[in-house]
Amino acid sequence: MRGKTFVKWFLLVQEKSVFEITPGPLVRTEGSHATIWCNVTGYRGALVQDFEWSMYLPSAPEREIRVVSTAQEDYAYAAYATRVASGDVYVERLAPDSVMLHISRLQARDQGLFECYTPNTDGEFLGSYSARTNLTVILDTLSVTSHSQALSRVEGDSLQLNCEVSRQTLQHSHLSVGWYLRAEPSTPPLDLLTLSRDFVLRAGTPYKQRFASGDLRLDKMGSTAYRLTIHRLQPADQGLLYCEASEWIQDPDRSWYSMTRKQSEKTPLKVQPAGINCPFRVNVTDRRAYMTGEPLELRCAIDAQNILERYFSVSWVFSSSPVAMVGPNAVPLLAGDYVQRETTGQLTVRKESQAVYLLRLQNLRPEDAGKYICRVTEREREITSSVLNCINAKLSFKQMPYPTVSLSPGSNLTVSLISNSTDIEESGTIQLMCEIQSISGKVAGLSVTWRRLDRNGSTEQHIAALDQEGVVKLSPAYSDRAAYGGIRAERTDIDTFSLSIYNALPSDEGQYECEVTEWLPGPNNTWDSIGEKTAATYVMVQEPSFFVFASSRTPSVTYGDSFDLQCIVKPQHDPQMPTAVTWRFQPQLDGLPDAAFRDLMTFSHDGMIRWGDVAPGPGTRITVEHATSSSNFRLSVNRAGPREAGTYLCSAQLWRKNYNHSWSMVTERNSNLLGINVLKPGECDHYLLRKVQVYGTRGCAPTIGGSHSSASLVRSVQEFCRGGSAGLSNLGFRRNNVVFAPVMEQWTSSKLSAGFWRVHGSFVDLEKAFDRVLRGVLWGVLGEYGVPGFLLRAVRSLYDRCQSLVRRGGNKSDLFPVRVGLRQGCPLSPILFIVFMDRISRCSQGVEGVRFW
């Protein structure tokens, strides 16, 4: 019957209606478009729900103003009826149970509390059917200005434009500012440069290369000024330039919302192509900035009439030194070291067509940066000839500066080193990934060297290297481990190298580095280094974290009885790191420990059982049990005798299999001590009585009625040992049970009753009995004993919202509630436990005798 009641209650809870709305307060600017979503779940009525929107002004918070409804066309009051009819205010249905309110142009009078409501279709009220959110309407103070003027520039010139952006918003907001170009008024704008709300500068896709080369800049010149700079203008830059700014605010749900967006006036820009004052025109490739290792292509195009009837020769000159010449017969003639580069395929000079001549350098080197000249000579069929130096440059101030190819120095790579974890347990795997990115998007030959610095950073050790052709070379110190598969270095992708170290050792801890070198093909099948980059990360190799716990349900037994000992190893480790457990025993003679601990038996890491040199008593039988999938090791002693009395502990060891198939112990832990007392029939547990210790301290504690003096306490214990239980059942004394906790509590109570207030007792909960107390029953028991309501509430407050977590290997779990049991270590817990047990005793025997005064 209880199960059916529980199911019915659960279904009722699940069917409650839950209403949600955009969390507020929402801050929006006057004139902007505002939206508020609303949805309901858990209803039992119609599939499609209707929604009604109302608002409450701050000046009249109790007066409802109806706005719009999905079910009634004439729902709105006069304040919103016109706007609803014109479509300025409307509801968009997102789903059968979800809608969104739209206000196309916010007005100041829209500020207030908005409520979303759905009529109840469930037949009875279960849950919520409305929700509210605040909307604050502020003035739009964003200002974006840029001085508009018609500009005319020549190709290759520089340009600077300023934009002033300001706002007077009292709320905390962010700005984003960007510059845009429209080639024609009817075409979509191109994104030049944008400073985002999180202060990140991004270039539009067509301008990323020019931004990387420094030809495109956006600088903040003050609190409100933003300057756009364009170097080396191109004809494609012609059009309408303007800046655009947006003001952003963060809503309570942590999302960002653009409250307003404005544009400056547009500035017309005209870019005139560079002209050459020659009988014919020569055009050279426009690009100027390159990265080392990239290919360079320069084309010299001759624009002339009747080109088929004319004879031209083209000479390429680099920094006043000749590179090559192509005559009218199209045969190239190379000079100096460029002959060798042409032989190895690193340089190409040819006539592509009647008017186009090509110079190509396959892999740019640092020394290739400088000025390049395309010199065109026209030859007549007669003796006369004319020579014209025509260079792809603008005509400015009657000067003709040479074009320059600039190269970024050294390697153009960025290197990052990623580890699978910075904390690796011993025998785990260290996985390192060295990822490479090229600014130019192209990579030539790459090699990587793996190194490790010890934990002090003083000793560097080479691990492995992969050359640009993919050949792996291991350090002699790691060659043996690599031969058994313990070390693996490889190139997993064109831009990724990996290093894997299996079965990690404590000596593997340290700072790992990957050094990437970029190479270019040189003459005679050689490689030329153009730079290297290094990335590093620190990896810690920790000893496996685990603990060993030993327990027994029967710390005292009589002759001929049996007892079990449990050894629990946590956490349970994987088979690659097996556990060995040894039970050790210290005999007890005449109530005192004798000699040192001796091995009783061992579960070895390879699954074998080995017995120690301790022999059981006559007639005693010892059995052991362990499941492969369990971390519990059990030792059972049947027909115990005097030889089995003493102290037990279990020792656990973690073992690691080495790369050469040998075994090494990783770490060892010992459990807590377990005292086992073997009593003759009717004998008192003197061994445990001697373990009671009482210490003086400051403070006082609540008392329990029915205290005994020291003399009466001793007589009661003696009577209990003889078989009686008078006067002690109220503290949970039972025949054949351990008397440690009751005796200790009685002794403490007698001291407190005698006025000795500097007393503190220690209660050891070996059986985890505290964890089994039902709190709901305990509160009722305290009420039965007359505990006042205010005191009962104070005790219960100690357990309200009681939460705990689990820590494993440095990682913490999420908090979870603890609803059963008493607090361990709390001075009040032993008293609450005694009262709880006394109530159980009275229910079973009808004995009364505990009361708070």
In angstroms, the CA 468 to CA 14 distance is 64
State both tokens at 644.
């089995």
Asked if 656 contacts 664 with a C-beta cutoff of 8 angstroms, the reply is yes
DSSP string spanning 402-415? PPEEEEESS--EEE
Phi-psi region of 778 (alpha: psi -120 to 50; beta: other; left: phi over 0): alpha
In angstroms, the CA 605 to CA 633 distance is 13
DSSP string spanning 446-501? EEEEEEEE-TTS--EEEEEEE-TT--EEE-HHHHHHHHTTSEEEEEEETTEEEEEE
Give me the pLDDT at residue 329, please: 80
In angstroms, the CA 330 to CA 553 distance is 102
Residue ranges in the chain whose pLDDT is less than 70:
1-17, 121-127, 273-288, 305-306, 379-411, 439-444, 522-525, 571-576, 589-595, 617-619, 628-630, 682-768, 809-810, 825, 841-853
In angstroms, the CA 31 to CA 54 distance is 20
SS3 218: strand
Which residue's entry shows tokens 């906790």?
Answer: 741
At 125-134, the pLDDT tens digits run: 666 778 899 9
Which residue's entry shows tokens 């050459």?
Answer: 276
Burial 100-129 (b: 16+ CB within 10 A, else e): bbbbeebeeebbbbbbbbbeeebeeebbeb
Task: Please give the domain boundaries of the chain with CATH numbers for all domains.
Answer: 17-138 (2.60.40.10), 143-272 (2.60.40.10), 281-408 (2.60.40.10), 413-542 (2.60.40.10), 547-679 (2.60.40.10), 686-845 (no CATH)
Q: Quick count: other Cβ atoms within 10 Å of Cβ 529?
A: 15
What is the four-CA torsion angle of 492, 494, 495, 501, rounded to 10 degrees? Answer: 20
What strands, in cross-sheet order, belong to the sheet with 621-626? 547-551, 563-570, 632-638, 621-626
According to DSSP, the residues that pair with 20 across neighbouring strands are 39
Asked if 812 contacts 804 with a C-beta cutoff of 8 angstroms, the reply is no
Residue 230 main-chain phi, psi, to 5 deg = -125, 115
Give me the pLDDT at residue 299, please: 84
CA 170 vs CA 199, 235, 319, 479, 597: distances in Å: 20, 44, 60, 67, 76
Give me the pLDDT at residue 290, please: 73
First to last CA, the chain: 41
pTM of the entire structure?
A: 0.37
Who's near 533: CB < 8 A, 6+ residues apart? 411, 413, 414, 415, 515, 516
State both tokens at 471.
């050949």
DSSP string spanning 130-186? EEEEEEEEE----EEE-----EEEETT--EEEEEEEE---SS--EEEEEEEEESSTT
Sort strands 579-589 and 598-603 into parallel, antiparallel or unpaired: antiparallel
Give me the pLDDT at residue 139, please: 92
